[in-house]
Amino acid sequence: MERKDYLQTPVKHIKIDGTLTVDQLMQQFKGSGALGAGRLSSACDIYEKMLKDKECTIFLALSGAVVPAGMRTLITDLIRKHLVDVIVSTGACMVHDAIEAIGGRHYIGGWAVNDTELYKYHLFRIYDIFVPEEDYVRLDFKLSEMYDDIAAQHKGESLASNEFSWEIGKRLSDKNSILRAAYEENVPIFLPSVRDSEFGFIHWLHSAQGKSKPVLQVDAFKDVPTVCNICAKSPKNGMIVIGGGVPRNTIQSSALASKKGLDYAVVITLDRPETGGLSGSTLEETVSWGKMKGQADHVMVIGEALMVFPFLVASVTERLGDFKRTPFLQFDKAGKGS
């Protein structure tokens, strides 16, 4: 590389004069192009590119406090508009969604509070959000019923985590529910660590009723080939990660196992790479594994996803205008993409 190659693009300074739409500001970030603002504008460009690439399947990894943070409808709308094709999430995220689907609520609170008092009041805290225990209790009853019902319909059959998600979604009536929307729209939701959530603990109750009733069974490994086959069938694969953990790892590893490698990747996280943990690992690192292609469009935005992701969605929504996306893969109720 010659010296002049390093000096191609001078920073253009951001100018805010009167009202701007979100994307007008983002375009300025693109001009300024550097540091955090630049990375966020790259994320928007990459997501837009994924959406307009007719051969790309878009995976969304959801972990952390997505629903308590107020992004539930945002995700539901992405599903209904088919601006994401596959979701990989945690059990907890979907529990939060189910709680709201049956009428529970998350409440704006604070983080500098008396947790012993909250405990006494049966209020659970998620950083600065509160959720009343009774909403969990109500969910427990509903889930137990649903499990009985699902088990009765699938006697002796072990479900995959994505089948489980749709079975729950089918039984929720709230149109704003992520689980419901995904069921209606045939968007698979994989929950590779579904056991590590209220879904797992309720299973204990549900299955403790003795031999009188069939018991819901979930096969830990059954969804593995399904995710991998989605990657394999898609000419291209893209990933947007909110948080990290199991959902990010599952997508990346599936891209590897299917010998495809991701073509696009956006990660929004506050985790750091130095621990060697997956959540903070750089996207460059994934190239060594073949999880992402060396030439993939990719960016890692260092920030709270719960603040950054809505900017990304608003910016891209504005760019899309009337654009209607047709996903490359069409999933049917059997969860198979074709």
Q: Which residues are known to be catalytic?
A: 291
Site for its own copies in 99-128 (CB under 8 A): 105-109, 111-112, 115-119, 121, 123-128
Residue 87 Cβ vs its own copies, minimum distance, rounded to whole Å: 15
- What letter would DSSP give residue 212? G
According to CB under 8 A, which one of 16, 324, 326, 332 is a site residue for its own copies?
16
Tell the smallest beta-carbon distance from residue 261 to its own copies (Å).
9
Residues in CB range of 145: below 8 A, 6 or more apart: none
Measured distance CA(131)–CA(240) in Å, rounded: 28
Q: CA 184, CA 174: separation in Å to the nearest integer? A: 11
- Rounded CA gap, 29 and 13, in Å? 9
Q: Which of residues 133-152 bind its own copies (CB under 8 A)?
A: none
- Whose Cβ is closer to its own copies: residue 112's or residue 173's? 112
Which residues from 53-92 bind its own copies, rule CB under 8 A?
A: 63-65, 68-74, 77, 92
Smaller CB separation from its own copies, 136 or 170:
136
Q: Which is nearer to its own copies, 54 or 110 (CB)?
A: 110
Residue numbers 192-211 binding its own copies by CB under 8 A: 192-197, 200-201, 203-204, 207-208
User: In this structure, are residues 69 and 268 in contact, taking their beta carbons and an 8 Å threshold?
Assistant: no
Residue 68 tokens, joined: 């308590």
Neighbouring C-alpha atoms within 13 Å toward the C-beta of 14 = 16
Binders in 225-264 for its own copies, by CB under 8 A = 225, 228, 243, 245-246, 249-250, 253, 257
Minimum gap (Å) between residue 273 Cβ and its own copies: 6
**8 A C-beta contact, residue 333 and residue 186:** yes
- End-to-end CA distance of the chain, in Å? 44
> Cβ 28 to its own copies, closest distance in Å?
7
Based on CB atoms, which residue is closest to its own copies, 54 or 108? 108
Residues 6+ apart with CB under 8 A from 119: none
Binding part of the chain for its own copies, among 51-59, 232-240, 280-288, 330-338 by CB under 8 A, reads: 280-288
Element (H, E) at 62: strand 56-62
Contact 194, 95 (CB under 8 A): no
Query: Which window, 48-56, 233-241, 306-314, 330-338, contacts its own copies (CB under 8 A)?
Result: 306-314
